[in-house]
Amino acid sequence: MSQKTVLITGATAGIGLAGAQELGRRGWKVLVHARNEARGKGALETLRAAVPRGDFDVVTGDLSSLKSVAELARQVAAKAPVLDALWNNAGGIQSERKASADGVELQMAVNHLAAFALTSRLLPQLKAAPAGRVVATSSGAHPLAPGNIQDWFLDRPGKYRPMQVYGQTKLANILFTQELNRRLAGTSVTAHSFHPGFVRTSFGSGGDPSKKSVFEMMGFLALPPEKGADTGVFLVDDPEPAKTPGRYWVKRKPKNPSGKATLEAGARLWAQSEALVEKAWQKAEV
């Protein structure tokens, strides 16, 4: 039986690192995405110490830049002409308003748009697999998103509300995987999203260091990263989820997401994301 390959974004710490460790232990070749080579080197050392016989390799890219996302996809395609799974795990929360290299609000850029762009570039490699999987780390915070969003990339004036924006990005993760699954009907690729639970990681430490996020303040209540990664590992590795694709999962069971996760919202998000990515890539000539 040939070895399967998975790419995990945001795999240098937390859920991504824990998922990489477990999938490496199960015999997968794991492409470990890191923001830069230094972070990737540290993750490799940790993984190889934990799983000496594991097959790990690093790919790098700044997910706040669509040009860098395109370069990341080229690295992955060169290392894995056949990609069995793409786990879009990278994400973060900012305490203050910031913009990406492409002028997009930073949470939407990293948590959603990078995953949309990377997945689109790697679809040929995923379709080359016998049963390709796309998995997204979403969140139970997705109902915090504003209702009836018409422009998903509009930077709303006034006070910046980090958790509302974060909820919007996590709703976007669910909508993207649902819409992707509909568009992939009839192919060998399925898409899934999940809530990892409240996990003890460095997540939420971005932004102003003097302002602690709710994630940091409530850290003593959090799950260890391996518990948070469990459903993601299940969605990547187990054959069962392919029977009910496009679902949102919690503790290895499919659940109904918020009523905000509508077909219309997903179609609107897809069209706006596609237009923004294509324009940025044309400008960057990638």
> How large a percentage of the chain has pLDDT more than 90?
88
For position 235, what pLDDT does the model report? 98
Quote the pLDDT of residue 230: 97
Residue 49, pLDDT score: 98
Closest C-alpha among 107, 63, 89, 69 to residue 193: 89
Q: Catalytic residues, which ones?
A: 166
pLDDT of residue 157: 81
Q: What is the pLDDT of residue 243?
A: 94
pLDDT in tens, 93-117: 999 999 999 999 999 999 999 999 9
Considering only the C-alpha atoms of the chain, give the largest distance between any 2 of them, rounded to a whole number of Å.
Answer: 56
What average pLDDT is seen over the chain?
93
Q: Are 231 and 255 in contact (CB under 8 A)?
A: no
Q: How far apart are CA 148 and CA 129, in angstroms?
A: 36
Query: What pLDDT, on a 0 to 100 scale, did the predictor assign at position 207?
Result: 46
Average pLDDT over residues 159-163: 95
Q: Supply the pLDDT for residue 201.
A: 54
- Range scoring the smallest mean pLDDT among 28-32, 203-207, 212-216: 203-207
Beta carbons within 8 Å of 210's beta carbon, 6+ residues apart:
none
C-alpha to C-alpha distance for 286 and 274, rounded to whole angstroms: 15
Residue-level pLDDT at 30:
98
Residue 278 has pLDDT above 50, yes or no: yes
Provide the pLDDT for residue 222: 63
SS3 for the chain, per residue? CCCCEEEECCCCCHHHHHHHHHHHHCCCEEEEEECCHHHHHHHHHHHHHHCCCCEEEEEECCCCCHHHHHHHHHHHHHHCCCCCEEEECCCCCCCCCCECCCCCEHHHHHHHHHHHHHHHHHHHHHHCCCCCEEEEECCCCHHHCCCCCCCCCCCCCCCCCHHHHHHHHHHHHHHHHHHHHHHCCCCCCEEEEEECCCECCCCCCCCCCCCCCHHHHCHHHCECHHHHHHHHHHHHHCCHHHHCCCCEEECCEEECCCCCCCHHHHHHHHHHHHHHHHHHHHHHCC
* Structure tokens given for 114: 């990078």
Please tell me the class of the 5-284 domain.
alpha beta
Please compute the mean of the pLDDT values over residues 89-95 and round it to a whole number. Answer: 95
Q: What is the tens place of the pLDDT at every residue in 217-253?
A: 444 456 899 999 999 999 999 999 999 999 999 999 9
The mean pLDDT of 120-147, rounded to a whole number, is 97
Examine the pLDDT at 196 and tell me if it is beyond 80: yes
- Establish how many alpha carbons lie within 13 A of residue 187's alpha carbon, considering only the half-sphere containing its beta carbon: 19
Query: For 51-57, what is the mean pLDDT?
Result: 98
- Domain borders along the chain are 5-284
Using alpha carbons, list the distances in angstroms from residue 278 to 91, 117, 271, 286.
22, 9, 11, 10
Kindly tell me if the per-residue pLDDT of 215 is higher than 80. Answer: no
Q: How far apart are CA 175 and CA 89, in angstroms?
A: 15
